[in-house]
Amino acid sequence: MLVLGIESSCDETGVALVEAGDQGLPVLRADALHSQIEMHQAYGGVVPELASRDHIRRVLPLTEAVLARAGTRLADIDVIAYTRGPGLAGALLVGAGVACALGAALDRPVLGMHHLEGHLLSPFLGSDPPSFPFIALLVSGGHTQLMRVDGVGRYELLGETIDDAAGEAFDKSAKLMGLGYPGGPALARLAEAGDPTAFKLPRPLLHSGDLDFSFAGLKTAVLTQAKKLGAGLEARTADLCASTQAAIVDVLVRKSMAALEGAGLQRLVVAGGVGANQALRAALGEAAARRGVRVHYPELHLCTDNGAMIAMAAAMRLASGAQTASRSYAFDVKPRWPLAELTSRP
């Protein structure tokens, strides 16, 4: 069974083809991605209308590229999956519209997927796939959540951010330091040359006793430091980056370990764009090794948004019986869509 996956929830157009057999995990046949980062850079953030228009321009050429790379034709596709939410409404509508139009034209069923489930299951595309059950740390630009995952479609939310997401904390802090958009990778790069203990920054909710996060106060603390430094900021940017990154990483690591301990589990899956952060990977690796915990990541290029995770999650949902694909081509999108809602559905 060949599943085409289309991702268009934010600023990346991703298309991929995954093949599922009777046994074993589905495998990635080909994928293609166009990042809109350069286009949005001039505005310091994602401009939703521009994002939608660019998805329209990219999605069909990317689909053709994926088919060519996989040596397949449109007619060989069995199921078409697309990101139904959460994300930017107009951007989501492009992927949903194209997927349903392709489905109708080819007489193939379609499947609307949850973006975060895509991130969550993306490590199954890697060379070191996890097995259930595990704790998942989902860290993206819009979400920071700890989940207990007992199987495909069986997700229990253990804790989440009460304000900014971890990716937002990276991005907003970077913006305050004049590092542009998206700030996360830029801040991480500069942090390599900085001293993580140079500035004392807050670790909100570190000792709250629950698994919730809060990053809004950190951004304010970074702003206060930046203002205090004034003209001296430039010389200390690397130190402030390293200190900011250390504060975010510290909280993510400690809460992940607390979630594992609370659930009595020894497996952690890290997914979402911030999962590409090397300092986070190193700190999680150390903490996990001390506790005999195994940490699984998606391949580095599949940490940020992509079509492969959507095709993979669709293939796994179909294989598990959690969902069937539909030949109804009327579509809607869900810009806001809690992942926990997936669990309650049959």
Question: Whole-number minimum distance, CB 73 to Zn ion, in Å?
Answer: 30
3-class secondary-structure state, position 41:
helix
Q: List binders of ligand KG4 among 297-316 (CB under 6 A).
A: 304-305
Question: Which residue lies nearer to ligand KG4 by CB, 26 or 86?
Answer: 86
Provide the 8-state DSSP code for 67: H
Binding site for Zn ion (CB under 5 A): 140, 305
**Segment 118 to 157, residues that bind ligand KG4, using CB under 6 A:** 140-142
Q: Report the distance separating Cα 93 and Cα 99, nearest Å.
A: 10
Q: Which is nearer to ligand KG4, 185 or 335 (CB)?
A: 185
Tokens representing 136 are 């998942």
Q: Are strands 2-7 and 154-160 parallel, antiparallel or unpaired?
A: unpaired
On the 0-12 / 13-18 / 19+ scale of CB atoms within 10 A, 11 is buried
H/E stretch holding 148: strand 144-151
Phi, psi of 139 (to 5 degrees): -130, 100
**By CB under 6 A, is residue 171 in contact with ligand KG4?**
yes
| Strand pairing class (267-271; 134-139) | parallel
Residue 274: which of Zn ion, ligand KG4, none does it interact with, CB under 5 to 8 A by kind? ligand KG4
A 10 A CB-CB count for 229 gives 17
C-alpha closest to that of 311 among 71, 95, 49:
95
Answer yes or no whether residue 5 interacts with ligand KG4 by CB under 6 A: no
- Among the listed residues 65, 41, 345, 33, the one whose alpha carbon sits nearest the alpha carbon of residue 179: 41
Residue 270 makes contact with ligand KG4 by CB under 6 A = no
Q: Which of 90, 184, 194, 196 binds ligand KG4 (CB under 6 A)?
A: 184
Q: If DSSP codes are grouped into helix, strand and coil, which group holds residue 76?
A: helix
Kindly state whether residue 188 participates in binding ligand KG4, applying the rule CB under 6 A: yes
Say which entry of Zn ion, ligand KG4, none residue 83 contacts (CB below 5 to 8 A, set by partner kind): none
| Residue 167 interface partner, choices ligand KG4, Zn ion, none, CB cut-off 5-8 Å depending on type | ligand KG4
Q: Is 204 in the site for ligand KG4 (CB under 6 A)?
A: no
- # residues near ligand KG4 by CB under 6 A: 19
Q: How far is the CB of 162 from Zn ion (least distance, A)?
A: 20
| 10 interacts with ligand KG4 by CB under 6 A | yes
DSSP state of 202: -
Applying CB under 6 A, which residues contact ligand KG4?
A: 10, 140-142, 167, 170-171, 182-185, 188, 272-274, 276-277, 304-305
